[in-house]
Structure 1
Amino acid sequence: MTIAERTERTAAADRLCREAYEKAGGKDTGTALVAVGGYGRGELAPYSDLDVVLVHDDDLDPGELAVAVWYPLWDSGSRLDHSVRSVSEMIDTAGADLKVALGLLDVRHLAGDPNLTLRLRTTALAAWRRSAKERLPELARMVRHRHELVGELAHVSVPDLKEAAGGLRDASVLKALVATWLVDVPHVELERGRQALLDVRDHLHAATGRPADRVGPEVWPELAGRLGLADAEAAQRHVRQHGRRIAHLSRMTWRRVDAVLARPRAVGGRVPQLTPLARGVASSSGEVVLDGRVEPATDPLLLLRAATEAAERDLVLAPATVSRLVKESPELPDPWPEEARHLMVRLLAAGPGLLAVWETLEETGGLDRILPEWDRVRLLPHASVVHRFTVDRHVVETCVEASRLIRRVARPDLLMVAALLHDIGKGGLVEHSVAGEPVARGVATRMGFVPRDVEVIGTLVRWHLLLPGIATTRDIDDPVTVDEVTSKITSPLTLELLAALTEADALAASEKAWSSWRAGLVGALVRRAAASLDHTPGHAAPLETTAQLPVPPALLDGSAPVAVQVEPSDDGSRITVLAPDRVGLLADVAGALALHRVSVRGARAWAQGELGVSQWEVSDPELDATVLRQRLEAVVEGRVEVAARLRKPDTRGLDPSVAVRPEASRQATVLEVRAADRPGLLHHVLAAVAALGMTVRSAHVDTLGPQAVDVFYLQELGAGGLADDRAASAAHAVRAALA
């Protein structure tokens, strides 16, 4: 089936319609027979309807002409969808019914008065352009509703060539959006995908002998033969690849429509505004682009940085930006630097914003640079009917589900990477968890994880099916059952991560895969296994004894309120701050760093005699110690009010977790805070504690992907740990500061 065959099929239908009109005595003026919809576009499939309308001038009654036209068409055996309308009725109906308005954009003359058809077409097109800004929100709602009902052509188990996201209906909508003159679409790419899907639909009609749009699993082998492809899997990949491309174009175009509709009316020439997001990356009109300050050839992390910012902020990752970075930026070193690994985990844990960004990376070749192993599962169909998506989309959905669970685990970075790699072994003859383990270990090693973390990731991938398999088929009260789990999962950390991965994997598979019954069984099994491993909750860092640091003379003689030292580290800088110790000192330092837009990855703080000492690991490779010291002095001396200049952290999404860990120390009260890593987070936490008159005996700040895990050892001024009521007050104050 080819374009030429569709053209011939359409031409035969046109001859049939013209003959029917002429035999019925149709005039050359005042009435016209027109084609709309797919027939209007000249894209008849073997079993498509003939969508035709008999149009007439407002002051003309077509009488019995319509019936005389329809009968020979019915007698020919054609499937007919017909109506009779005046020009005014057509325009009025289009104004009230969006589907009619879209159909009129494809009006094509068949017989009768060509001037009447031309007038109808030009009037309808002018009305569409004139009312586009008012009507596009309604069209967007219709499209979203259809996508929610039908799913995505690229990923659902039984795809619908017409109605699914990325199907033929979306291609027609894209052409309608282009007709508004508000946005444009890459025409060559759209037509390539559209014609490919039209070919598949023609073959589907021929194979099933009916006007089918849904491709059932039993049809793929015959479609493969008709398309000249090797097997059913190749046919699926062919169809899904084109569907994914159209879906990507659709999403990109609708985001640009949103930007156009939200944009105030421009006066004269308007230069796009760039809003800085991160080093080398900015946003413009809702898209993440390069800001021109960093040459792509000098920074291999730009692609990850742009993708992460786009996903976390739910912005469009501009395809042109990715294409340029793929072409110009150097390969990531092997192993990756810490910042690259940190960015990758943030990207994976971005939540729903990951979906569109990941799709853009796939469509532009960016993913081949970051994760070449992805090709193993790209558009791979699932063998199990429990899965609603292809393997690749299931993996991304698993990451989205896992991102909602990161507050429950001590190492969200390991959870997110395991979620990404848990099905990487699918597609071969070896059981996928067995095949995937060495691949996952290799990827984790390349990402720069230390050997013990690589071991955890490999174990999670190898045994990601363990818990549901045992929980639903064995007696969880039998010690032998628990031993079967603990013989393979030997650490509390790995067990905790495996429980979260199991839940995320099931939720991503289908709604029925994580029932309350199954969740209860798995939860009970995990509790028994944790008890067997002598698991103690809480992940507070130990109260460390830190080496004494030399005190700068300016601090000893009082000529400077604060001393600052900046040293380069492997992939950033280490900032050391010393100042006379007092309640609120650490909050001031954290606030000053936030105002300086320093990205903190980790920190430690302790007391050294009468001084408070803190060391901060930051991702910024070039910091001016003098400028930083001046800012710190201004804050410490009270010349700059941090709270007035620092926005509260953005806590949309997951709620922060604040917990007191009474078992973690005998010398102090340990407060553990887990929250989204955002500028100003540390200052708000520490300021809340300082406002209660508490001192921070020791602080242990770590950033694991998108989550800050901050542990503070609190004491009363001049005393030891907090009383229970004071500890509760501290936890409440921190929660309130982050709410």
Structure 2
Amino acid sequence: MFPPTAGPCTPKPEASFLMTAIRNKRQIIHRRALMAEIERQVAETRRPVDGLRREILALLKDHLARGRAEIRRRFDEGADGAHVVRENCYLVDQIVRTLFELAYIHVYPVANPTSADRLCLVAIGGYGRGELAPHSDVDLLFLMPYKQTPRGEQVAEYILYLLWDLGLKVGHAVRSVDDCIARARADMTIRTSLLESRQLCGEMVLYEDLRRRFAADIMVGTASEFIDAKLGERDERHRRMGDSRYVLEPNVKEGKGGLRDLHTLFWIAKYTYRVQNLSDLVEQKVFTAGEYRRFAKAQNFLWTVRCHLHFLAGRPEDRLTFDVQTEIGRLMGYADRPGARGVERFMKHYYLVAKDVGDLTRILCAALESANQRQPKIRLPSILMRREIDGFRIEGGRLTLANRHELAEQPIRMLRLFRVAQSREMDVHPQILRWITQNLKYIDDDVRADPAANQVFLDILTSPKDPEATLRHMNEAGVFGRFVPDFGRVVAQTQHDMYHVYTVDEHTIRAIGILSGIEKGAFGEDLPLATRIVHDVLSRRVLYMAVLLHDIAKGRGGDHSVLGEEVARKLCPRVGLTPEETETVAWLVRWHLLMSAVAFKRDIEDPKTVLDFADQVQSIERLRLLTVLTVADIRAVGPNVWNGWKGTLIRELYYRAAERLSGGHVEGLNRAGRIAAVQDRLRERLADWAEPAFRAHVERMPGSYWLAHDAEVLERHARLVARADRQGPAPLVIDVAPDQFRSVAAITVYAPDHHGLFAGVAGAMALAGGNIVDARIVTTTDGMALDTFWVQDADRSAYDDAVRVARMRDLVGRTLSGELRPAKALAERRDGPKRTDVFQVTPRVLIDNRASNTQTVIEVTARDRSGLLFAITRVLSDLALTISSAHVATYGERAVDTFYVKDVFGLKITHQGKLARIREDLLAALDAAGPVIESDGSLRSSLINGARDDEESARGDAGGAHGEAAE
């Protein structure tokens, strides 16, 4: 029978809070029962403990597996993450204590131990904090009084090797107290790990000595140093993780607003206020009880998400990737509701929790600043100490108030504070931001109806002084959503796809900032048209309100443009807009997707496209407003979404519509004049060409070609065509021009035009591993095809690797010569599963015979995949259709491709049997299951009204540019 061992393995008092949170601990692991089984093994085998390593390991594995299964069972039955991390910690504690007892007392006993033989086992890091996710590391400190002894080394090795054999990932250190103190003084990471240490087993006197010396030698007088270091680490981590709470696949542990930010709060609080638990901050009046509850809820939510991630992956996994978001949302009870999918509700809650973490950080920083504020050595008369601006005090160069009661008595001051800060370009004191958070309830219907309050809000929105920053601060403080409840409904609103980078509130605020930048001329080079016409609009208030409200009704179910129009009609009069201004804002919100839909999905060379668009817009003023709104909206979608190509399409549609609306009189050059100007610039670049050669080249190209490319591309094409002409009567030239700024390679194919050329090139590029994100078709007057494809690698970077480009050239040449059949080669190739496969896109085929007077428009929506464009164009080729114009685009996981086609006689396809065949064959190629099929309809019905169910089809994407391929 083993002797009693209570002393070395009794948990220290501070750790008892971990135990009280666990119910039925012995169902997880019964340490006495485990030790009894080991005793039976000793008795039955009549071998000492050190000879039973294999048997002990088997027993430990069994108890560990049963404990983990019990914890998982409880979690599956509804326990939250807080229980899992504590129960898991308890399970590992008992395993470690058992091993320590075996090693320290039974395997390597000492009859008369000296002071040098003392040993203490300490949990550090997250394990020391009492939090252990299912697959997290176990960090241990073997603490010795002076230096490592042979016995201490043997005990440590025995414990560590068995823990490793159990499959646990263990980080460890063997140090003396002096060594710990010296390292903590020099290394902030070690200092932090010791800060949240917890004694597990062994000599308590050693651990108490470490704690005493750590507090006296390290913590005293170094709080500011520690705070600065931890906040600096946090900022660097945020930058590394994208510096946004709203990334598409957030890191639950390391991301902004994640668990590590809560850990940082805990470290700072423990170091500064010497608390063991964050709940102690309520007694010290650092947090209110409500704020502590927010902390606990945020922490528990993030713990629960992280535990789901670990359980689903079967390994340490902290990134909330697309493929698990839906499943975790379902497991956490987020069901689909009208207007919001369960996964979107789950991610909205996640982002709101991340926002709460930011609020708590600001609150703690305010308390720290207040606690460390020094009184002046010489007390001056109060009249000289007081400085005020517009009724607000200035403290440390920041705006504040004398007391929180002023906000409850005059809630409008919460708005005025931000207007003063904006106009004076000053910061707001974190303490008053905390007071605002605590007094938001006083912004009620009476305040919302107050004309003075609404004027303050409108002043902030339309101010020339950085409205984006001010509105973001108001949003962080909760004032924005409280004063405009419709905006509050879209705070943290998400869409579960690969296209929407930001939440709706963040996107809206960014769009307002971009509009402000356009007014200031900050985007003159990238957005020349918007920069010029923004100063011609008659009402700035209309434009800013339209940008504010364009996505205000997302997440409500139904068409957000239609619902947003209703919101605009109610809100605009409230903030002081005239009936005429209200009507214009409502129209802009209703049709804010129209211009991008027409420019990116229709052939603006077709006169009917421009005619229908102009008939819907009706006035030059609306056209200006819609253009600027469209540009700001697209630019705010996400990084690298806007590019010069989109700008070209928007500008061309603007000019053509303006000509129509003004009867041909519009500021700037008309179409013929713009084409002539482009040709003049090209002539300057081709100064080495003879005039007859230049004129012959100009006459070979259709008018649409000249406005679709910039001068550099036009020059490259001209020299490519001249080089090809010297090769003979049937040349094949392939030109590759990488564009690193847009992360694409422009691959131009110049060859004799023939039926199926487009499909053949698309198939060859798919075989070469190229992802076609857009294409343009040009047919010269002498029967040559000048087709340009914008291509990326599988990782969305420019397709410019020399070896791969050479292979692509070979595949295109072999395909066009008939030597290679892409269909067969692609059918034999199988792509492996990807995490983005979770996104489902219902295939849709829309055939529109009213969008053009001369051609049939076919719009295909499907999930983007390798070879998709080839599959579509091959069907069109097999059906003897000629593609006159193609608009090929990707939107995250969604591809929306539009083709203007004619039959073999150069006419529209009108026969119902032929139309049905087109639909059936396209859907078969897309592997449709339960497709949504739409047939003939006018441009207004098929494009404008129908675009709302697929909003991303009307904007653009970071991965692929919208574009037109004109004949």
TM-score range, shorter chain: 0.5 to 0.7
Measured after TM superposition, the shift of residue 110 of structure 1 is: 1.1
Q: How far has the Cα of 1:424 moved from its partner?
A: 1.1
Match of 2:272, SS state, is coil
Alpha-carbon offset, residue 299 of structure 1: 5.1
* 1:428-486 CA-partner distances (Å, limit 9, x unpaired): 33232222122122211221200121122122222222233222233444443433443
Relative distance call for 1:173 and 1:442 in structure 2 (3 A) is: same
Q: Does 1:331 align with 2:421?
A: no
1:698-709 aligned at under 5 Å gives the runs none
- Partner of 1:81, secondary structure, is strand
Give 2:159's aligned amino acid.
V
The aligned residue for residue 65 of structure 2 is: none
- Whole-Å Cα distance in 2 between the matches of residues 346 and 259 of structure 1? 34
Answer yes or no: is 1:232 the counterpart of 2:343: yes
Report what 1:117 is aligned to.
207
1:197 deviates by 1.5
Q: Tell whether the 8 Å contact from 2:568 to 2:586 is kept in structure 1 after alignment.
A: yes
Query: Structure 1 444/169 Cα, relative in aligned 2: closer, same or farther at 3 Å?
Result: same
* Contact 1:153-1:160 within 8 A present in 2 as well: no
Distance 1:74 1:418, change over 3 A: same
CA distance in 1, matches of 2:450, 2:471: 26
2-side partners of 1:159 and 1:125: how far apart? 36
Give the secondary-structure state (helix, strand or coil) at the position aligned to 2:171: strand
* Cα separation, 1, equivalents of 2:491 and 2:567: 15
Question: Once structures 1 and 2 are overlaid, which stretch shifts more, 321-330 or 114-123?
Answer: 321-330
1:306 equivalent to 2:417? Answer yes
SS in 2 for 1:212: coil
Q: Distance in 2 between matches of 1:491 and 1:274?
A: 55
Q: Work out whether residues 120 and 204 of structure 2, in 8 Å CA contact, stay in contact via their aligned partners in 1.
A: yes
Task: Give SS of 1:166's match.
Answer: coil
1:124 corresponds to which letter in structure 2? Answer: F
Cα gap change, 1:41 to 1:153, in 2 (>3 Å) = farther
Q: 2:90 aligns to what?
A: 11
Matched, 1:107 2:197: yes
- Gapped regions of structure 1 (runs ≥ 5): 539-739
**Other-structure match for 1:277:** 389
Q: How many residues align?
A: 533
Q: Which residue of 2 aligns with 1:340?
A: 456
Listed one character per residue, the Cα deviations across residues 349-391 of structure 1 (whole Å, up to 9, x for unaligned) are 63453365233442xxx34541111243232212442221222
* SS class of match (1:377): coil
TM-aligned CA distance change 1:151 to 1:287, over 3 Å: farther
Kindly indicate whether residue 627 of structure 2 is the aligned counterpart of residue 499 of structure 1: yes
Tell me, in whole angstroms, the C-alpha distance in 1 between the residues paired with 2:398 and 2:128. Answer: 36
Cα separation, partners in 2 of 1:116 and 1:356, compared to 1, 3 Å: farther
How far apart, in 1, do the equivalents of 2:155 and 2:549 lie?
66
- Cα displacement string for residues 575-597 of structure 1 (whole angstroms, at most 9, x for unaligned residues): xxxxxxxxxxxxxxxxxxxxxxx
Is 1:94 paired with 2:184?
yes
Structure number with bigger Rg:
2
Residue 172 of structure 1, CA deviation:
0.7
Q: Which residue of 2 aligns with 1:194?
A: 299
- Identity among equivalent positions (%) equals 30
Contact 2:181 2:214 in 1 (8 A): yes
One-letter amino acid matched to 1:499:
T
Whether 1:210 and 2:315 are equivalent positions in the alignment is: yes
Q: Against the structure 1 CA distance between its residues 152 and 488, is the aligned structure 2 distance closer, same or farther, given a 3 Å change threshold?
A: farther
- Aligned residue among 346, 359, 368 for 2:475: 359
Q: Contact 2:138–2:170 at 8 Å: present in 1 too?
A: yes
CA distance in structure 1 between the aligned counterparts of 2:637 and 2:293, rounded to whole angstroms: 35
Question: Which residue identity does 2:517 align to in structure 1?
Answer: R
Aligned to 2:272: 181
Q: TM-score, normalised by structure 2?
A: 0.50
- In 1: Cα distance, 2:312 partner to 2:379 partner: 55
Q: Is the 8 A contact 1:389 1:509 kept in 2?
A: yes
Counterpart pick for 2:489 among 363, 366, 376: 376
Distance 1:325 1:392, change over 3 A: closer
Letter in 2 for 1:495: L
2:482/2:488 contact within 8 Å kept = no
Corresponding residue for 2:560? Answer: 432
Counterpart among 510, 513, 518 of residue 405 in structure 1: 518
Distance 1:246 1:377 in 2: 19
Other-structure match for 1:473: 601
The within-5 A match list for 1:220-299 is: 220-230=325-335, 231-254=342-365, 266-267=376-377, 275-278=387-390, 280-285=391-396, 288-290=399-401
SS in 2 for 1:405: helix
Structure 1 pair 213/295, CA: closer, same or farther in 2 (3 Å)? closer
Residues 75-102 of structure 1 deviation map (CA, whole Å, 9 limit, x = unaligned): 2222222222333333333333322222
| CA distance, structure 1, for counterparts of residue 387 and residue 593 of structure 2 | 44
**TM-score (structure 1 length as normaliser):** 0.65
The farther-off stretch of 385-394 and 528-537 is 528-537
**Among residues 318, 323, 327, which one is paired with 2:433 in the alignment?**
318
Distance 1:8 1:537, change over 3 A: same
Note the alpha carbon deviations across 1:202-226, whole angstroms, 9 max, x for none. 2332233222211223323432343
RMSD, matched Cα: 3.5
Between 1:406-415 and 1:249-258, the stretch displaced more is 249-258
SS at match of 1:124: helix
Q: Which residue of 2 aligns with 1:459?
A: 587
How far apart in 1 are the matches of 2:575 and 2:91? 60
**Conserved 8 A contact 1:319-1:360:** no
- Rate the CA distance shift 1:156–1:31 in 2: closer, same or farther, 3 A: same
Q: Does 1:510 align with 2:638?
A: yes
2:148–2:175: 8 Å Cα contact kept in structure 1?
no
Distance 1:74 1:59, change over 3 A: closer
Q: In the aligned structure 2, how far is the partner of 1:110 from the partner of 1:498?
A: 67
Q: Deviations over 1:233-271 (max 9, x none)?
A: 33223333222101222245446667888x667549999
Superposition deviation, residue 144 in structure 1: 1.6
More helix by share: 2
User: Could you tell me how far 1:143 is from its partner in structure 2?
Assistant: 1.3
How do residues 75-94 of structure 1 correspond to structure 2 at under 5 angstroms?
A: 75-94=165-184
Q: Is 1:67–2:179 an aligned residue pair?
A: no
> Equivalent residues in 2 for 1:480-559 (5 A)?
480-534=608-662
Aligned to 1:219: 324
Name 1:656's counterpart in structure 2: none
Q: Distance in 1 between matches of 2:427 and 2:512?
A: 16
Partner Cα distance (2:304, 2:385) in 1: 43
Work out the CA distance in 2 between the residues paired with 1:294 and 1:32.
Answer: 53
Is 1:21 the counterpart of 2:112? The answer is: no
SS of 1:63's equivalent in the other structure is: helix
The verdict on how the C-alpha distance between 1:109 and 1:277 changes in structure 2, with shifts beyond 3 A counting, is same
After the TM superposition, which residues 555-634 of structure 1 pair with which residues of structure 2 at under 5 Å, given as runs? Answer: none
Q: Which moved more, 1:58-67 or 1:431-440?
A: 58-67
Aligned residue for 1:699? none
Are 1:45 and 2:124 matched, yes or no?
Answer: no
Q: Tell me the distance in 2 between the aligned counterparts of 1:451 and 1:439.
A: 14
- Counterpart of 2:184 in structure 1: which amino acid? A
- Contact 1:259–1:286 (CA<8 Å) still a contact in 2? no
The whole-number CA distance in structure 2 between the counterparts of 1:523 and 1:274 is 55
CA contact (8 A) 2:480 2:488 kept: no
Shift of residue 159, structure 1, vs aligned partner: 1.8
- Deviation digits for residues 388-440 of structure 1 (CA, Å, limit 9, x no counterpart): 12222222222233232233434443332222211112113323222212212
**1:168 Cα deviation (Å)?**
0.5
- 1:133 alignment partner in structure 2: 224
- CA shift, 1:499, in A, is 2.8
Structure 2 CA distance for partners of 1:349 and 1:75, relative to 1, 3 Å: same
The correspondence of residues 150-165 of structure 1 with structure 2, limited to 5 A, is 150-151=241-242, 154-165=245-256
Tell me how far 1:70 sits from its aligned partner.
0.2
CA distance in 2 between counterparts of 1:85 and 1:468 reads 65
* Contact 1:381–1:391, Cα closer than 8 Å, also in 2: yes
**Aligned residue identity for 1:157:** L
CA distance in 2, matches of 1:258, 1:484: 61
